[in-house]
Amino acid sequence: MAVKTLFVDPSRCIGCRACEAACRECDSHKGESMVMVDFVDRGWSVATQPTVCMHCEEPTAPCAQVCPVLAILITPDGVVQQAEPSRCIACRNCVYACPFGVPKMDLQARLMKKCNLCYDRTSQGLKPWCAQACPTQALWYGDYEEFANQRRGHPVNRTAFGTQEVRTRVYHVLGDDRPRLDVVALLDEARAEIGRPPGQREEAWVL
């Protein structure tokens, strides 16, 4: 059976943080959100992006590799679990090791916490809460073929950090390779009719 996983498409994200609100409803970590939504740069744009655990497949998840007490376990189906509370010694190695900045340290509980792909729900065939709630389906749950059939964009699950490539269970969705509409040509055509020079860079507005 095809592997069901998360697809993260920032181009659809509206920054509503429904995923964060919903993550807190998950029975395995009630009241705490393991997903993060960030403005890329609010001083410049309204663009936002959700971050979930990417569930690294190859090499073995760095967080698990660096854990000195083997607290971070990986299920046979490749879901990287959060640190086992009875083992975690709050050393934060995982926080520093994760290339995606996912694990969080709960200072009060002295435990590492992170997304476990809503294992209680996904192991029973339900969607994880974040993708379930996501109003715009910027977080989407399903298998690769389904995604390719339904959606635009180019899913990738290999991320290069310098020379180190990491293959993850979770996919990022990049934009289409070619723009679907040549807006510049359309605007140039209009400019020509109005008698304005083509291709000039302009503000979106006139004051």
Interface residues with another protein (CB under 8 A) are: 11-12, 14-18, 20-25, 27, 30-34, 36, 38-48, 51, 95, 101, 104-107, 113, 127, 132-137, 150-152, 180-181, 183, 186-187, 189-191, 193-194, 196, 202-207
Residue by residue, DSSP assigns 25-45 as T-TTSTT----EEEES-TTT-
Torsion angle, alpha carbons of 121, 81, 86, 93, to 10: -150
Question: CB 145 → another protein: shortest distance, Å?
Answer: 16
Question: CB 187 → another protein: shortest distance, Å?
Answer: 5
Question: CB 58 → another protein: shortest distance, Å?
Answer: 25
Q: Which is nearer to another protein, 43 or 162 (CB)?
A: 43
- Rg over alpha carbons for the chain, rounded to the nearest Å, is 21
For residue 146 the two structure tokens come to: 């389904």
Question: CB 76 → another protein: shortest distance, Å?
Answer: 26
For residue 17 the two structure tokens come to: 């943080």
Q: Which is nearer to another protein, 24 or 57 (CB)?
A: 24
Residue type, 4: K
Question: CB 74 → another protein: shortest distance, Å?
Answer: 22
Which pairing describes strands 48-51 and 56-58: parallel, antiparallel, or unpaired? unpaired
Question: CB 113 → another protein: shortest distance, Å?
Answer: 7
Q: Which is nearer to another protein, 68 or 135 (CB)?
A: 135
Task: Give the separation between CA 171 and CA 183, rounded to whole angstroms.
Answer: 29
Q: Which is nearer to another protein, 59 or 148 (CB)?
A: 148
DSSP letter (8 states) at residue 113:
E
DSSP letter (8 states) at residue 84:
P
Q: Which is nearer to another protein, 87 or 151 (CB)?
A: 151
Q: Whose CA is closest to 62, among 90, 103, 113?
A: 103
Q: Whose CA is closest to 55, among 128, 137, 124?
A: 128
